[in-house]
Structure formats: structure tokens, C-alpha cells
């Protein structure tokens, strides 16, 4: 645990007040309020306070020294590296895989103490969870930002505390006060879905596209990018986007939005774009209940994103025509960033994940996205067995 020099007793008082609503201390799920803390975390604050009272004079030097030694701090003596991880929530199969990836890599056996907070899709709780990590004086903070704005203040607090921040998956648009971001290009995913649909429609002799979009969580960069990318191709080809509403990346949300769409637009759409697999599962239930046929060779083309195992099973069965992968397994790349920092090296600011575009039929071998040819992969059982 990084030894932190806090400057005045007053800070200790603030720390105690903050602890009333900050995250930290093992696995925690944030409620509507900020995540609850445990005694261990409060003890750490008390230790910090008593040390601060004793070391006031050295505080400024100590703080600058701690900041200057950032690269060597945390586990430099071969000890445990403490990581605070503020995760979006638990809304989808993708999220489950993302959480497991971090818990598998940042395990006690591998020399880490992972303080995990499930922020339950609550942006305010996520900010408080990060503040809780600062109070705990963790060595590193990992954030998967629920939304892409509202981050600069708390990232400045992390910077002032000398704690390096690594962003995974979704992006932050209003601050660059983090060491690295590890994730996917969401606009490229949206463009790929559009380019595939264009080539597929041409191959199948479908001249008119009337698409319904079930968006992900409002304000999430994954939603913004996928929506933007697909719309760019739709506009370029004169397609109609009949409606576009958020299903919040959940199965229940996908079903609810699709049921509403069927009431309003039955018979007026031939494509449904779901911005993750769980929404697609919900949309399938709604269409099945309404007697609407979807998938390969059916009335409605169904497109999804994420390509989780269950999603790929639906691609292989023909229920989903195409599934654009978003790789959740960022933790190994995050660990590389941490190891570079431990060694005093400078990591890349952006690290992109490897992804595939999965389809049911082999009628197309590739598509061209942003001028670059990209292969299409027909789903097999072997691929499913190896998926996250």
C-alpha cells in the first residue's frame, strides 16, 4: 500500500467524513448512495491522520517525493500492489467477462490486492468510489467510466494524490489526466456493422433498409461511437433509421424497447440493430412473442455487438445475422501498463484490443471499414468454445 503523506489534521477530518460514503475495502457494490466502506479502510484513514499530525513539517516534501517516485511506488519492495477498480456495473455478459478478467489477473496469488467496486451504472457512486480509493491511498486506480464526461475534477484529485489512473473500455472525453486507456474503437464497430449490412443487403438483393436501433446506455462512449458509426453508413446509403432508443445494455431494456417498437412500427422495419448481445436477447423475445421472424433467411435482419459466448451461439443458430465483437479482456494489457510504470517506463496512451466481426453465413469474406479490408468470421463451435 503506498505510504501517503497527508498534510494537516483537517484532512484527516475530511477523510473520516468522506469515508462515510466512499468505496473501497474489498468487493463492494455501490448502492444508490456511494459505496459503503469497511473498518479496514477507516483504519487506514486514521493511520494516515496520526502520521500526518506527526509529519506535518515533512508533508510537502513527502508528497512531492511520493509523486516523484510514483513509478517506483507501490510494490517497489516486491510487496503487494493495491489496485482500486471502479467497474460500470453488472448489466451484461460482457461486463461479467470484463470483471472476471480483472479479478483473474489482479489476484492475491499474482501479488495484487484488488479493491473492486461495482458502481451499478451510477455515475455519482463511481466518482465516490474513486475518491474512496484516493483515501485508501491505493497504488493504482482502474476506471471503466459509465459516462464519458464529468471526470476532470476527480482525475485531478488522483493526480494530486500521485495515484496513476488507467482507463479501460469506455472513454473519457473531458480529461486526459490518466496514464493509459485500454479498449476498443466503438465508432469502428458501428461503421463495421453498417458496411456489413450494406454488402449483405446487396448480396441478398435487399434494396430498402428500414432500421430500428436499440442503443446502449445513454452517455456511454460505446453507445455514442456505435450509434455514430452506423448512422454514418446509413446516411451515406439513404437508409431510414426508423427509431433509436436506449435499452441500457440490458436484456430487459432490449425487450422493453422492442415491444414498444413493435407497437409503433410493426411491418415498417426490416433490420434491428442492438448495441449489445443482452439487448438482442430481449429483442428476440419481444419479436418471438409478436410472431415476427428474425435472423438468417427471415423477415428481419438482426445485428448485435459484443459477441459474447451466448451471442455467438445465436449467430451460429441463425437467430443473429452478424455480431461485432467488443473484447472485454483488457486486464492483461492493463497489467503490462502497470509493469511499465513499476519499471519507470512510459506506457502508450492508447492500447487497442483485437476484435473480430462474426457472421452466420459465408456469403461475404470481408468488408472494408475506413478504407481497410477486414475479414468476416463464420462462427463455429470451436470459436464458441474459446470465446469469453
The CB-of-118 to ligand GZL minimum distance in angstroms stands at 12
Binding flag, residue 91, ligand GZL (CB under 6 A):
yes
Set of cell numbers at residue 255: 425487450
Residues 263-292 that bind ligand GZL (CB under 6 A): 276
Binding flag, residue 92, ligand GZL (CB under 6 A):
yes
Binding flag, residue 326, ligand GZL (CB under 6 A):
yes
**Residue count of the chain:** 388
Binding flag, residue 356, ligand GZL (CB under 6 A):
no
Binding flag, residue 99, ligand GZL (CB under 6 A):
no
Binding flag, residue 320, ligand GZL (CB under 6 A):
no
The CB-of-236 to ligand GZL minimum distance in angstroms stands at 24
Q: Which range of residues in 91-99, 261-269, 361-369, 370-378 is near ligand GZL by CB under 6 A?
A: 91-99
Set of cell numbers at residue 362: 459465408
Question: Across the beta sheet with 140-143, what order do the strands follow?
Answer: 28-29, 112-118, 81-87, 140-143, 165-168, 180-183, 350-352
Binding flag, residue 95, ligand GZL (CB under 6 A):
yes
For residues 233 and 248, give the distance between their C-alpha atoms in angstroms, rounded to a whole number: 23
Residues 31-90 that bind ligand GZL (CB under 6 A): none
Residues 170-199 that bind ligand GZL (CB under 6 A): 170, 184
Residue 67's Cβ-side half-sphere holds a number of Cα atoms within 13 Å equal to 12
User: Is the Cβ of residue 94 or residue 200 nearer to ligand GZL in the bound state?
Assistant: 94
Binding flag, residue 222, ligand GZL (CB under 6 A):
yes
The CB-of-170 to ligand GZL minimum distance in angstroms stands at 5
Q: Which range of residues in 7-15, 92-100, 281-289, 342-350 is near ligand GZL by CB under 6 A?
A: 92-100
The CB-of-194 to ligand GZL minimum distance in angstroms stands at 17
For residues 237 and 233, give the distance between their C-alpha atoms in angstroms, rounded to a whole number: 6
The CB-of-278 to ligand GZL minimum distance in angstroms stands at 6
Binding flag, residue 358, ligand GZL (CB under 6 A):
no
For residues 93 and 77, give the distance between their C-alpha atoms in angstroms, rounded to a whole number: 38
Binding flag, residue 215, ligand GZL (CB under 6 A):
no
Give me the 226-255 binding string for ligand GZL, x by CB under 6 A, dash otherwise.
-----------------------x------
For residues 9 and 53, give the distance between their C-alpha atoms in angstroms, rounded to a whole number: 6
For residues 385 and 7, give the distance between their C-alpha atoms in angstroms, rounded to a whole number: 54
- Taking residue 317's Cβ as centre, other Cβ atoms within 10 Å add up to 12
User: Is the Cβ of residue 222 or residue 241 nearer to ligand GZL in the bound state?
Assistant: 222
User: Is the Cβ of residue 75 or residue 311 nearer to ligand GZL in the bound state?
Assistant: 311
For residues 311 and 357, give the distance between their C-alpha atoms in angstroms, rounded to a whole number: 12
Q: Which of 139, 251, 256, 306 binds ligand GZL (CB under 6 A)?
A: 306
Give me the 110-149 binding string for ligand GZL, x by CB under 6 A, dash otherwise.
----------------------------------------
Strands (E), the chain: 28-29, 81-87, 112-118, 140-143, 165-168, 180-183, 210-215, 240-246, 271-274, 301-306, 322-325, 350-352, 357-359, 366-369, 372-378
User: Is the Cβ of residue 113 or residue 144 nearer to ligand GZL in the bound state?
Assistant: 144
**Number of residues located near ligand GZL, criterion CB under 6 A:** 14
- Taking residue 161's Cβ as centre, other Cβ atoms within 10 Å add up to 20
Q: Which of 305, 357, 358, 388 binds ligand GZL (CB under 6 A)?
A: 305
CB 102 within 8 A of CB 331: yes
Q: Which of 120, 122, 128, 169 binds ligand GZL (CB under 6 A)?
A: 169
Handedness of CA 247, 250, 367, 269 (dihedral sign): negative
- Taking residue 378's Cβ as centre, other Cβ atoms within 10 Å add up to 15
* Residue (of 94, 91, 71) closest to 353 by Cα position: 94
The residues binding ligand GZL (CB under 6 A) are 91-92, 94-95, 169-170, 184, 216, 222, 249, 276, 305-306, 326
Amino acid at each position: 500500500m503506498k505510504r501517503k503523506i497527508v498534510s494537516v489534521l483537517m484532512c484527516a477530518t475530511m477523510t473520516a467524513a468522506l469515508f462515510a460514503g466512499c468505496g473501497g475495502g474489498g468487493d463492494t457494490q455501490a448502492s444508490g448512495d456511494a459505496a459503503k466502506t469497511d473498518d479496514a479502510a477507516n483504519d487506514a484513514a486514521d493511520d494516515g491522520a496520526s502520521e500526518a499530525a506527526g509529519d506535518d513539517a515533512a508533508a510537502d516534501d513527502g508528497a512531492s517525493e511520493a509523486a516523484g517516485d510514483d513509478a517506483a511506488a507501490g510494490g517497489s519492495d516486491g510487496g503487494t500492489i493495491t489496485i482500486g477498480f471502479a467497474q460500470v456495473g453488472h448489466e451484461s455478459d460482457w461486463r461479467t467477462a470484463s470483471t472476471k478478467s480483472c479479478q483473474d489477473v489482479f489476484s492475491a496469488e499474482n501479488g495484487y490486492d484488488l479493491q473492486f467496486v461495482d458502481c451499478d451504472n451510477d455515475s455519482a457512486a463511481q466518482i465516490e468510489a474513486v475518491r474512496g480509493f484516493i483515501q485508501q491511498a491505493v497504488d493504482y486506480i482502474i476506471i471503466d467510466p459509465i459516462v464519458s464526461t464529468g471526470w476532470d475534477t476527480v482525475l485531478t484529485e488522483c493526480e494530486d494524490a500521485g495515484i496513476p489512473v488507467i482507463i479501460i473500455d469506455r472513454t473519457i472525453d473531458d480529461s486526459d489526466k490518466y496514464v493509459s486507456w485500454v479498449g476498443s474503437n466503438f465508432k469502428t464497430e458501428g461503421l463495421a456493422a453498417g458496411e456489413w449490412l450494406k454488402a449483405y443487403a446487396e448480396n441478398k438483393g435487399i434494396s430498402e433498409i428500414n432500421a430500428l436501433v436499440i442503443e446502449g446506455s445513454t452517455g456511454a462512449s460505446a453507445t455514442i461511437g456505435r450509434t455514430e458509426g452506423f448512422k454514418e453508413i446509413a446516411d451515406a446509403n439513404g437508409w431510414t433509421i426508423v427509431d433509436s432508443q436506449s435499452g441500457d445494455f440490458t436484456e430487459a431494456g432490449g425487450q422493453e424497447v422492442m415491444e414498444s417498437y413493435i407497437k409503433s412500427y410493426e411491418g415498417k422495419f426490416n433490420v434491428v440493430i442492438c448495441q449489445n448481445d443482452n439487448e438482442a436477447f430481449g429483442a428476440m423475445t419481444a419479436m418471438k412473442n409478436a410472431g415476427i421472424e428474425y435472423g438468417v433467411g427471415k423477415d428481419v435482419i438482426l445485428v448485435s455487438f459484443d459477441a459474447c459466448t451466448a451471442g455467438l451461439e445465436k449467430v451460429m443458430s441463425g437467430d443473429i445475422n452478424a455480431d461485432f465483437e467488443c473484447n472485454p479482456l483488457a486486464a492483461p494489457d492493463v497489467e503490462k501498463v502497470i509493469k511499465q510504470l513499476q519499471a519507470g517506463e512510459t506506457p502508450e496512451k492508447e492500447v487497442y484490443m483485437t476484435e473480430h466481426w462474426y457472421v452466420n453465413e459465408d456469403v461475404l469474406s470481408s468488408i472494408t471499414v475506413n478504407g481497410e479490408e477486414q475479414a468476416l468470421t463464420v462462427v463455429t463451435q470451436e470459436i464458441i468454445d474459446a470465446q469469453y
